[in-house]
Amino acid sequence: MSTETPRAPGAGRWTQFIDDIVAGDWIDPQTHQNERVPYEAIVIDETLAGREAELVAALNLGTTLAIVCDTKTYAVLGRRVEAALASIAACTPVILEHPHADAATVELVRARTAQAGAVVAVGSGTINDLCKYATFLDGKKYCVFATASSMNGYTSTTASITLPSGFKTSFAAHAPRGVFIDLAISAAAPIKLKAAGLGDSLCRSTAQVDWWLSHRLFGTPYSSLPFRLQAADEPQMIEHAPGLAAGTTDAVGYLHRVLILVGFGVSFVGATHPGSMGEHQISHYIDSFAGARHPGTTHGQQVGVASLTMARLQHALLARETPPRIRPTRIDRAELETRLDPDNAQKCIAEWSLKALDERGAAELNGTLEALWPELRAECAAFMLPVERMHWALAAAGGATTALDLGLEPGFYREAVLHAREMRNRYSALDLLADSGELESLVERET
């Protein structure tokens, strides 16, 4: 980390290291490369009250701004932002009622912001994804005032949008010009949102294990950079988990730092793998296929529970002294078409086929596993967190730790764990366990 460069505006305790990266001054000590992120300003402070106009003015977003909120975020921060920005631009509030990050709402946001030159999002996951994708499609700039530390999408360049079929997909989009985090607002956010952000961060360990397994077994690209970025902050974030429930600014401060650094990692490697592997596939399955069984939980709440499941599965897999014995992948088209509608069954088959192992692929993988198993176990052990520690942190934050806490029927949750791998061409511990015939019995323990 550079210590000689002048601090960026808004620099302070909470943006140390982040400022250096945003300023383009950080050199990765391992690769000696100057890593850059596409953000002009990331400001985190105990409060941003009174600074809204100054922060947005520095981004040169023009003289007509749409302030996009939902009814709740308008009440907690949007109204304040709108009033403050009136001094620098003509502002139109766009207040959505119970919005979902789906294709229809993206079009609604595009239509209602059509007259504005740029967009100021005030909200968390849904509002940010909607504004990110709508402005990307319209070629407009946007910035975001965060209202909760609920997910890591503030500094990612992808947007999670649900298609009309119900299939949730991550679309390439662009970065907000500025991310502004008022810790007092975040600290006062509903406990379930703060705990969701913790859930979306605890998956670091399970995603790293899955990504590493794929790298070592199939030679897919891997980078340690995303994990090194957050290594110093993760223990602090976990240690402060009880403060999320209590509403301290320290707890949301550490959490926001990790969420931002995860986004940087994704931006640097140009892939979501460091923060989205098996545990995210489980959450995507829930979002896509729970239908009427969907209790309306957020992404991070699901990812937290799914990360505990993945951690247990990975511990069970890697506790073995001998490698699992892999069989060719069996894609049962008829079963898929019974469980899902034909369109989604087809989508899954198309993705799943890309990583499915034939006789030869299974034999090759068994050879690799035989050769690497003791090393692989030791390597993965270095990435893993104790499941008890993850569980403690989620519970201390007031978050869901079980499918029942999420309001999901255990049977459907087990279905999600068992079949989530079919949705995406990413080989994870879920695939290793399924292709060795062990997943089903392990999943029985997950409720």
Chain residues binding Zn ion by CB under 5 A are 200
Of 15 and 152, which has the nearer Cβ to Zn ion? 152
For the bound state, the minimum distance from the C-beta of residue 263 to Zn ion, rounded and expressed in Å, comes to: 10
For the bound state, the minimum distance from the C-beta of residue 151 to Zn ion, rounded and expressed in Å, comes to: 6
For the bound state, the minimum distance from the C-beta of residue 84 to Zn ion, rounded and expressed in Å, comes to: 31
For the bound state, the minimum distance from the C-beta of residue 276 to Zn ion, rounded and expressed in Å, comes to: 6
For the bound state, the minimum distance from the C-beta of residue 6 to Zn ion, rounded and expressed in Å, comes to: 34
Other residues' Cβ atoms within 10 Å of the Cβ of residue 88: 16
Residue 148 tokens read as 């909760």
Q: Among positive and negative, which fits the CA dihedral 391, 154, 103, 67?
A: positive
Of 129 and 200, which has the nearer Cβ to Zn ion? 200
Q: According to DSSP H, which parts of 27-102 are helical?
A: 52-57, 71-73, 79-85
Of 201 and 436, which has the nearer Cβ to Zn ion? 201
Of 214 and 281, which has the nearer Cβ to Zn ion? 281
Of 200 and 234, which has the nearer Cβ to Zn ion? 200
Cβ contacts of 191 within 8 Å, gap of 6 or more: 244, 245, 397, 398, 399
- 247, with CB counted inside 10 A (0-12, 13-18, 19+), is middle
Of 200 and 233, which has the nearer Cβ to Zn ion? 200
Measured at CB, which residue is nearest to Zn ion?
200
Of 200 and 435, which has the nearer Cβ to Zn ion? 200
Contact 279, 249 (CB under 8 A): no
For the bound state, the minimum distance from the C-beta of residue 170 to Zn ion, rounded and expressed in Å, comes to: 10
Q: Among positive and negative, which fits the CA dihedral 245, 234, 403, 302?
A: positive
Distance CA(373)–CA(393), nearest Å, equals 31
- 210, with CB counted inside 10 A (0-12, 13-18, 19+), is buried
Backbone angles phi, psi at 94, to 5 degrees: -120, 105
Contact 189, 246 (CB under 8 A): no
> Helix 278-289 crosses helix 299-318 at what angle (to 10 degrees)?
130
For the bound state, the minimum distance from the C-beta of residue 125 to Zn ion, rounded and expressed in Å, comes to: 9
